């Protein structure tokens, strides 16, 4: 075959691979599809189970073996070298309520397609490949987030996770059994790779296609319960009220004030209150209890510690002002920590080879790589999010950027599989 014919055949192969990826992405996005163009696939629901089964069919059709561990992490295994260790890649297929099609799911599908492409050209591989769909990364139905990878990395005991309940009293064990994705598999991993939409706008603003993630922001996430006393909203005078909703509202406002007060040009602080449950939630009853989550994040550990201390100092003042009691419950904390520098260098070399513009970024959000980087060499990559929109049905990454990410991830996986990383 002539050089021209070989180049034409290669271009045709790339075009077919691109069409296959986009077709699979469209198919995957039908599961749990919402009217607004997003998805609702909360962990352990029927929609999550359907997506998992679809993914299993996809990878089994390409010769993968699919297994599940004790907390529902889904492993698609591709054995290239019998007895060799595994390089793992992945993200998550579960979503937020009325979430976007791209968050997590793009990374799982990209990992699968990269592995499929590598299978066709696996000369020189020293590792086997595992694509992982982590259970309950989002943490909306069951808390905390990044649940599956937390168990995998030894940060949470499996039995505690299995007995965790959703707001309706269903346990993780019951949810996993209902969708048939629970087992006893375990896997030794030599390295981990993950690609994700940025969920921010820095890549788009800078005209870049790829983000090399250098570190995570630190995050402190707390569950608070504000205890008051139920009373009549008309008959009970203000002086006699112990209004849990007032106390919770003051806590929300305090969190926002702290973000404004502690952010600097060098180190931002982001705070939020993402869940609010009011009891008894009647229009004519002063609230007796409010459950809420407060989340503080920063790039700098000292700034985060100072903001955290101020939040807890203000709790006492809020208790006094609203005549309530505030109890802190469960917490989920991860520190600001760097990703492997040699991995970033390898990813940069891969992007250079493909001619893809890239830059260095930090991740504000938590990802399963946040846990995995603590136990094995880990590489984390981003592709752009249009206008930075995420956890929203309007979430969008262009086909061009998605396909560039698949190409880069394939190139990177080939290098890692040949032993250039570990």
- 138-155 pLDDT, tens digit per residue, is 999 999 999 999 999 999
- Taking residues 80-104, what's their average pLDDT? 96
Name the one residue in this structure whose structure tokens are 């700034």: 303
Q: Which of 148, 62, 182, 145 is nearest to 111 (CA)?
A: 62
Lowest mean pLDDT among 113-127, 133-147, 250-264: 113-127
Share of the chain above pLDDT 90, in %: 89
- 312-326 pLDDT, tens digit per residue, is 999 999 999 999 999
| Residue 12 pLDDT greater than 80, yes or no | no
- 211-250 pLDDT, tens digit per residue, is 999 998 889 999 999 999 999 999 999 999 999 999 999 9
The pLDDT value recorded for residue 5 is: 47
- Taking residues 293-309, what's their average pLDDT? 94
The pLDDT value recorded for residue 217 is: 85
| Residue 11 pLDDT greater than 80, yes or no | no
Beta-carbon count within 10 A of 121 CB: 10
The pLDDT mean for the chain works out to 95
The pLDDT value recorded for residue 121 is: 76
- Taking residues 152-166, what's their average pLDDT? 97
Instruction: Indicate where the chain has its CATH 3.30.70.360 domain(s).
Output: 218-334
The CATH number of the domain covering residues in 218-334: 3.30.70.360
- 365-408 pLDDT, tens digit per residue, is 889 999 999 999 999 999 999 999 999 999 999 999 999 999 99
The pLDDT value recorded for residue 37 is: 97
- Taking residues 109-126, what's their average pLDDT? 91
Where helices occur in 182-243 by DSSP H, the ranges are 202-206
Q: Which of 347, 331, 243, 239 is nearest to 286 (CA)?
A: 243
- 17-32 pLDDT, tens digit per residue, is 999 999 999 999 999 9
| pLDDT classification of 2: cutoffs 50, 70, 90 | low
Instruction: Indicate where the chain has its CATH 3.40.630.10 domain(s).
Output: 3-217+337-417
Beta-carbon count within 10 A of 203 CB: 23
Domain 3-217+337-417 has CATH 3.40.630.10: yes
DSSP 217: P
Tokens of 248: 């919770």
Distance CA 236, CA 234 (A): 6
| Residue 181 pLDDT greater than 90, yes or no | yes
């Amino acid at each position: 075959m002539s050089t021209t014919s070989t180049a034409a055949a290669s271009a045709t192969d790339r075009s077919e691979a691109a069409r296959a990826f986009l077709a699979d992405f469209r198919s995957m996005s039908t599961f749990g599809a919402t009217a607004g163009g997003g998805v609702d696939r909360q962990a352990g629901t029927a929609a999550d189970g359907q997506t998992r089964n679809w993914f299993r069919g996809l990878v089994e059709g390409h010769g993968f073996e699919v297994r599940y561990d004790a907390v529902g992490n889904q492993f698609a295994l591709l054995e290239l070298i019998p007895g060799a260790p595994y390089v793992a890649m992945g993200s998550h297929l579960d979503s937020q309520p009325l979430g976007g099609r791209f968050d997590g799911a793009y990374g799982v599908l990209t990992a699968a397609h990269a592995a499929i492409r590598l299978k066709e050209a696996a000369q020189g591989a020293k590792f086997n490949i595992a694509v992982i769909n982590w259970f309950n990364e989002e943490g909306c139905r069951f808390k905390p987030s990044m649940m599956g990878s937390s168990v995998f990395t030894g940060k949470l005991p499996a039995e505690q996770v299995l007995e965790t309940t959703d707001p309706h009293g269903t346990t993780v064990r019951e949810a996993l059994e209902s969708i048939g994705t629970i087992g006893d598999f375990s896997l030794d991993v030599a390295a981990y790779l993950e690609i994700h939409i940025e969920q921010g706008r820095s890549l788009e603003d800078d005209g870049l296609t790829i983000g090399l993630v250098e570190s995570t922001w630190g995050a402190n996430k707390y569950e608070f319960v504000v205890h008051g006393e139920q009373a009549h909203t008309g008959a009970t005078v203000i002086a006699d009220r112990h209004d849990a909703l007032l106390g919770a509202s003051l806590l929300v406002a305090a969190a926002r004030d702290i973000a404004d007060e502690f952010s600097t040009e060098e180190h931002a602080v982001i705070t939020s209150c993402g869940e609010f449950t009011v009891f008894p939630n009647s229009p004519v009853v002063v609230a007796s209890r409010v459950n809420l989550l407060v989340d503080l994040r920063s790039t700098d550990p000292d700034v985060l510690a100072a903001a955290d201390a101020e939040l807890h100092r203000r709790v006492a003042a809020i208790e006094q002002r609203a005549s309530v009691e505030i109890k802190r419950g469960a917490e989920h904390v991860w520190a600001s920590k760097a990703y492997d520098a040699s991995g970033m260098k390898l990813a940069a070399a891969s992007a250079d080879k493909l001619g893809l513009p890239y830059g260095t970024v930090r991740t504000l959000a938590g990802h399963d790589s946040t846990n995995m980087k603590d136990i094995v060499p880990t590489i984390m990559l981003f592709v752009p999010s249009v206008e930075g929109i995420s956890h929203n049905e309007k979430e969008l990454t262009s086909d061009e950027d998605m396909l560039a990410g698949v190409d880069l991830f394939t190139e990177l996986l080939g290098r890692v599989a040949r032993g250039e990383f570990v």
